[in-house]
Structure 1
């Protein structure tokens, strides 16, 4: 029996650790689902006028209504979706009726329409505020000469289009003949992999138990021989 104590101890400890990691991911899953539900409520809330003072953390996803002019000053951000493939997001400078100039994510166009001339238009936009975190060490440098951008980094876009560091992602507009298809903010784009992680840890715990039992059984057989 003494020979079995060490592997049995490792088996119990390893199983306990793996089960605790799985349970932690289950708790994280519940937390993340609550966060996503809160974001969904905020996205779908009744739109308000654009506040004067904004906090990128507290006001992220705030539903707003803005009235004004969509200018022809725009940048094109290369992106893709599962349903459309390669697209360009059209980010334009938007001049509000109360004299502000902010960024407007109008939506998307296919690559052949990237450089099409889009007229200035007076409209009312309903959408959500957003400060996307799309820049990391793998993000390419923007090709400003070709007007090809690789992220919606708000400070950079604001500098390029001479606007406030505010991005409104359009959900709908009153344009009669919109040339850009809105791509609204949605919580579906926020990763939530905690269920897969939990299943992985629990699966490893089951494997650990089976390996421990197999090893103990093998040791007992060797002792009998």
Structure 2
């Protein structure tokens, strides 16, 4: 009896490997298909956002909808308030700060990112006068920071453009849930340096899909190999 049980064990083990391999093949194919759907969604999103960012200027939306208004090119008139907040930034020009300034506009209090200033030019006396007419791109309000670095209003240390938190820190009315990255509106070479928004989306869905499909092919090969061995075992 011990000898018969010993001969049956490889068959059960092989059947289990067949089942596991088949499940893995189906799983990897489904994951690859999901990534392909994400790829087409991302391509549509990129096309839509590029059309907004490089299209005709629009007025400020009466009601903000992230799906429809992120990176929308807008043009508006407003009254710049005297306050400002410097938000830590690293750009193609090097490390420094974004100059965030609140504006009174028809839809409400709106924060405007006037542009980048290096650390050597972080005092307002070194900047061009804030314009009343702004053109730029709508960006959604950011969170308070990351796990490694967060806004600290008490210390006047800012790493994220959180419009609500900035308004609270300056004792202002509630602000709109977005800000505007302004184009470079100052004279050439003057600070702040606007127009540095990078309209770019990471799109790795195709490589992910190909990886999942490759895994499916590998497990399919293993499935075929195990099935042939299983058949040979049954015929023996």
What range is the shorter-chain TM-score in?
Answer: 0.7 to 0.9
Give the structure 2 partner of residue 143 of structure 1: 152
State the Cα deviation string for residues 29-87 of structure 1 (Å, max 9, x = none).
00111012111111222112334x22243433332112345454211111324x44533
Alignment partners' CA distance in 2, 1:212 and 1:146: 61
**RMSD of aligned residue pairs (Cα, Å):** 3.4
Normalised by the size of structure 1, how large is the TM-score? 0.77
Match of 2:191 among 179, 185, 196: 179
Shift in CA distance, 102/60, structure 1 to aligned 2, threshold 3 Å? same
Residue 47 of structure 1 pairs with residue 44 of structure 2: no
Partner of 1:34: 44
What are the ranges of 5 or more consecutive residues in structure 2 without an aligned counterpart? 1-9
CA drift of 1:106 comes to 1.2
Q: What is the aligned partner in structure 1 of residue 122 from structure 2? A: 114
Contact 2:35-2:209 at 8 Å conserved across structures = yes
Shift of 1:120: 3.3
Quick one: distance in 1 between partners of 2:168 and 2:101? Answer: 12
Q: Which moved more, 1:177-186 or 1:28-37?
A: 177-186
Shift, 1:170, TM fit: 0.8
User: Which deviates further from its counterpart, 37-46 or 6-15?
Assistant: 6-15
Tell me how far 1:221 sits from its aligned partner.
8.4
Unaligned runs of 5+ in 1: none
User: Relative to structure 1, is the Cα distance of residues 185 and 121 closer, same or farther in structure 2, using a 3 angstrom cutoff?
Assistant: closer
**Residue in structure 1 matched with residue 111 of structure 2 by the alignment:** 103
TM-score, normalised with respect to structure 2: 0.74
Higher strand share: 1
Match of 1:131 in 2: 140
Return the match for 1:66 from 52, 68, 76: 76
Summarize the Cα distance change of 1:95–1:132 in structure 2 as closer, same or farther, 3 Å threshold.
Answer: closer
Preserved contact between residue 170 and residue 182 of structure 1 (Cα < 8 Å):
yes
